[in-house]
Each structure stands twice: as structure tokens, then as C-alpha cells.
Structure 1
Amino acid sequence: MKSLDIQLVEKRYVHKAKEENVHLYNLRRTIPRAIDVATMEKVIIPALSSEQRELLLKFFEKEDPIPGSEPNESNLFYTLRSVPRRIPRETVKQLYSELGRALPGDEEVEFMSQFYKLDEDSDQYILQKFVTEADETRLLRIVSRKDLHITDRERKEIAEILDLVPEFEKREVFFANVYVDPRHEYFFEHSQEHAPAMLLIESCRQMLEACCHIYGKIPMKGVALMLANMQASFTNYVELPYPIKLRGSLLNHKKNRAGYWSVVDFEVTIFQQAKEVARIRFEGSSINSKVFERIRRERKDPGAPPRFLPRPDLYHMMSLRTEDGAEIEGSLIDLSLQGFMLELDETQTVEPGAAMNFYFSVPGAGVVLGTCEARWQEIGDSRNVAGFRIDQMSESDRARLFEAIKQHFYVQEDREIF
């Protein structure tokens, strides 16, 4: 169970039945570094409530992004207050002197020089280009400006406000945080010094699923998601005590006539302490559930149909009713889509060729009904066993039988060849 004050993504969006298996929070779309004045004042602000406007303008300020230029519609923007636009050179020198670092050639200063240029006239470093979210944290750490830091929870609030304006064009780039519970029974069955790779892969899969439903508008019902390809690369360990951030990028996609994503090429980058530690790329598609079921339907095997054994936790009693109304109850030994074998009470007998109705109940699948024919019976010193062939079942009952096999049975390996 989570103990932090966080709001996890709804479990239905990541196809989970239990909240303890959800690992994402603060899922949101990326926030633009700058919005031109015309769009902000004529499109976005009029569409918002006063409370939403107040929150948005708390983080965006109207500025001229090009120092010394003549203000006009082409260079006036509302910029996000997330990194300083001007940094006095003396401030940078003093900062690095305190850190005991040499300013020229320092790796972090070189990184900063990608975004800032020294203006000799003002003796300041001037922000020259827009900064991605992934780079903002690193820049703030370099210049020690924690006061400008916008938390991921605040970014989620900003992104949700901008999502309310359909006319505002948005990028298909998304962010989320990963919740790691070191008490999770599966991922931490033994002590771990770092976040397990399987947990990270599952978190990235959840991000793909959630983005497909929330942003790609793939319906929750009637549509199935099929994964075609996954590639993962890890460049470093992910440490448990530090926050983990995901960035999801929609590299390519197609939409169907209904307007939702039908084909996706989606890459998730994992960051920790503002540095990339892993990348996982997914390729997949969404298809109608009926088509998916047809694809999943087992092909007919020219050999003997596979038999499945009930799992130990299943209550596996089956009831039979003969044509004259007699009731027979047996314990299910094995089952296939064509027949089943029961262990009967020592006093019960069945005639080979006798027609019967059968029914049994399976948790999660429901009651399965059909007609069968007794094929054989063997009565020994310790067991009374009989075999039955399934004759007729409705399509819905056959579907429930197939679902019951998937959930509560396993193949009899020493009988089958796979």
C-alpha cells in the first residue's frame, strides 16, 4: 500500500485490478516553455475560469525572449518561470568558486552554454533557446535556483488546464513519476539495492497503456491493445531512494476513422537525478475486441486435443443430469474443449453412450452449461473414473469454458507435446 501523499493513475487505465500494482502518478502532457501572446490572450485565457487563469499566470509571465529586440507579435511570449532568463557572470563565477570548481572547461558549464550565451555589454548569461523539461532540472541545479523549481504536481495542474483548450496545439510528449514500494510482494520478494528492471519495464508499459487511453482516446471497452515489439536498453542502475521520472514520446502513430490511435510507436525514457538511465520502445496497435478474440482463438490441432488440469485452489465439482432426471456429481480430473474426466462416488455408474446435461461454476467465468455423452467408466479398488465427450454448447458457454481454462487450469505437460 502507498504511504506517500500521491494520487496514482486510475488502475483501469493501466489494466490492473489492484491499486497496489499501479506504479504511475502525476501523469501529464508536457508543458510548453513559451506560448505566444496572441494564443495565450485570444485562445487560452478566454476559455478558462478565473481560478484557472490565476493558476496559469502564476507560472507564465509575459516577456520579450530576445533581449534588445523591438517588441512585436513575432517575439512576444508568455514564458514559463522555470529557469532564469538572465544570470550575472559574477554569480556563476562565485557559485563555482564556492563549489571549488574551475569555470572554464567544466562539464556543467559546457552544458549550460548550450542554452546561455554571455552578453559582454550586460555582463550576463542570456537564455538563447527554449529548454526541455528534461534539461530544466539539471540547469536549476547548476545555477542553484531552487526557488524557480516547478514541482511535478504543479506541472500536472498546469498541463490539465492547457488540456481544457482544444484549440491550443499540444505536443505528443508526456511525463509521469514512478511510485516504488519496497514492500511490493512480487518485485521485492527479497532485498534489492536498486529498482528492479522488471518494475521499470512494467512502469513504462503502464505509461504506454495510460497514454493510449487518456490521450490517444482508445476506448476502455470493445478495443484490445496488442504489443508487437519492445526494445529496452539500460545505461545505469536506478537507485531506490531517489525519484524516478518517465518521459513518453509518441514517435509515430496512425488514427482510425473513430479518431483514436490505431498504430503507435512509443518510446519511454527513464530519468533519475536529471540523467537518462534507460530507454524502452514499444510498437503496437489497437484492434476491435472481436477481431482480437478471433486472433486468439486456438487453431484446431489435428492431433489429440490438449487436456488441462484444475489448479489446486479451484472448487472443481461438476454436476450431471441424466435424461431420466438422475443427478450425478463428480470431481473434475481434467478438461479440454472437447471433453472431461470425472472421479465419481464409488456407488455411481454411467452407461457408455448415455446422454446427459452438465454444468459447473468457475469464479470469474460464470456457469458453464452443455450436453455430453458418457464414453467410458473404469471402477478400480480405489477410484471410480469416467470420461465424457462434450456434444453441444452455446457460443457464450464455449467462451466461458475457454475463459475458465485460461484462468483456472493448466496443461497436462507429461501428456502433451509442445
Structure 2
Amino acid sequence: MNELFPIDQQRRASDWPEAARQIRGAGARQRFLVGALLVNVAALAIDVAVLDPRHLAVAAGLRLLLVTPLVLLALTLNRRPADRPLQAVIQATAVVVFTLSVTAIGQFAPEPFAGRYMMSALFVVFAGALVSALSWRTTKIMTVTATVLYALIVVSGLRWPPAWANIDLVGLSLVTCVVGLRARRRKEAQIAELVAIRRSDARLKRDLRRANAALEQLSATDALTGVFNRRYLDDLIEQETASLVPSLGQSVLMIDVDHFKLFNDHGGHAAGDRCLQQIVTAIRRNLRSCDVVVRYGGEEFAVVLPGLDESELQETAERLCHAVSNLKIAHPGLGDGGVVTISVGIAPAVPAETLAHAIQRADQSLYRAKHSGRNRVSA
């Protein structure tokens, strides 16, 4: 019966795990890269529709021979934790190259499609800053680099001497850069706040579990002696009664401190409390870890001993009697030389017998021990 064992303390709850954070970051990077790959490949259909054959070849080369390999390499490295630093560099490079390729292709497209390419490139910059899931330092370098190179392309028009046109797009790119980085910073702050809330919640739950475990242990423990109390024994009996599994029977000892009322009358209750504590210490020292000691009444204790046969139970009871008498606790009510002793009643295990009935038999045996002269064991 697992119920007979003392209640273990619950394990400490874990805070927000670093490994889980890394896994979520890898998932976010993968989703971003897959989206970028699909957009890059799908945009070829637009290139076919708006570009002449000569410029179409350049666009296809940029998309399929430059952007796509970089994105695929970043996806591959993203699956290997040891290569995360290199993966961050490749992913940031892929975002910059993707931005520049869209911007460059837009220089060859006729209006109004050229303006749409320019706006799409700015969208890549903004999306990279906001959802690329790279570190803040890498994101800043990536976004600023992409913005500067974008501005150089749109201003020069990829011509020499530069066309010095599209100054309005330069201003818009700067706004996009600032807004994207600020949005990313705000997103990080919100995530950090959420993580802090979850950590605090985990700590509160852990403290609550500890408090509940401590309260449960206190409610089942006798405050004076530290052994289980009568309520705990009643719970064991109730659980056994409700169980569908037939009981194998439990060996039980009932222990009573001889002449304890007389001890309190002559020595005082404080001395009586110390006496009980010493007796319980001696009893527990001579029992197994699986045996359950219960303070049944004021000076009466019940011990449930699973798995002992009658001879072993008798031997254990006699050992407890000797252990207490060997403490040589002076009994102030018995005169000179009088020491505190115990009487023990035993009830060997009987298959299919309930624990309540075993306790009743042990109590009857204890009655016989007390009326036979005390400081002895009776079956």
C-alpha cells in the first residue's frame, strides 16, 4: 500500500527553460525563411509578366542562383544548434541580398511595376527586422545595411554617373528602417514582459505547491512527536475501505506508555512532553523505514508494519519494549529506581482483514498486556 509511506516533497517547478526558448526561436526563423523562399520563387511569375527577356534572365539569376541558395543554406543550418551563429550570418545575408535583388530588378521594370518592386523591397526590410527572429544586434546590422544599399540603388538607378533620382524612396526607406527596428524592439520588450510574467507565475505555482504539501504534511503530523496523527490513520483506513483491491492484511502494534498520567501528575506536562519525544525517537530508531508510527491518543501509539510474520512482529515488539526501558527515563511517580516503560499489544497480519479490525485486535492485546503487569508484550 503506497498510502503507508510518508508523503514526499514535491519537485521544484522549473522556470522558463532556455532550451524551449531556443526551440521556439528556431521555429520562428524556419517559418520566416520558408515564407521568404516561397515569395522569392513565386515572384518569378511577376518577373515573367513585366520584364523583357534580357532583364528576365538577370532576375531569374538573382532569384534562383543567389537568393534561393542562401535561404536554403540558412534553413539547413537552422536545424543544427551547433551552427546557429553561422546560420544567423547567412540568414541576415539572405535578407539583405533578397532586398537588393528585388530593388535591382525594379530598376529594369516599367512603370507602374517599378514602384511596386521598390515598395516590395521595403516590405522585405521591414519583415526582416520584425519577424526574422535574429538577435537584436544582428537585426540592427542587417536592417541598416539593407536600407543603405537600397538607398544607393534607388538613388543611382544602377547607372554611372548616378541618376540621383527617387529621393522620396530614400526618405521612405529611412522611415521603414526606423519603424521596423522600433517595432522589433517593442516586440522584444513585450516578449520579455511575457516571459517575466510566466516565470513569476511558475514561481507562484511552485510556492503554492510547496505550501500545500507543507500544509498537508502538517495536517497529518503530530506537532509534538513528529509522527503521523490519528487523522492520517483514519485516512488510511478510509482509502483501504474504498479500494477495490483485496487487502493482504497489515501487522499492527498498539503501544501505551505505562503510568503516564502518574508521570504528568508528579513531573509536570512539560516533562511528559519530553518523555514522549524520547520514547518516539527510540521507537522509530528500532523500526524500518516503511513502518508507520501514529500517535493514536495522548500516550498511545499505533504502528503499522507491512510484510511481517507473527514471529518477526513479536520480536519487533519486544525490541521496542527493551529500547524504551533502556532509556532509563526516571519516573517521578514510581519512587527511586522507577523508570518509564511501555506495554505493547500485537495483531499479526490476517489476509483480507481490514486495517481497522487489525487495530482493534492490537488494542485488545494491549489491554491484556496492561492488566498482566505492564512493561510487556501480549498477543
TM-score by length of 2: 0.24
Q: Higher relative CO (CA 8 A, sep ≥ 6), structure 1 or 2?
A: 2
Larger Rg: 2
Q: Which is helix-richer, 1 or 2?
A: 2
TM-score by length of 1: 0.22
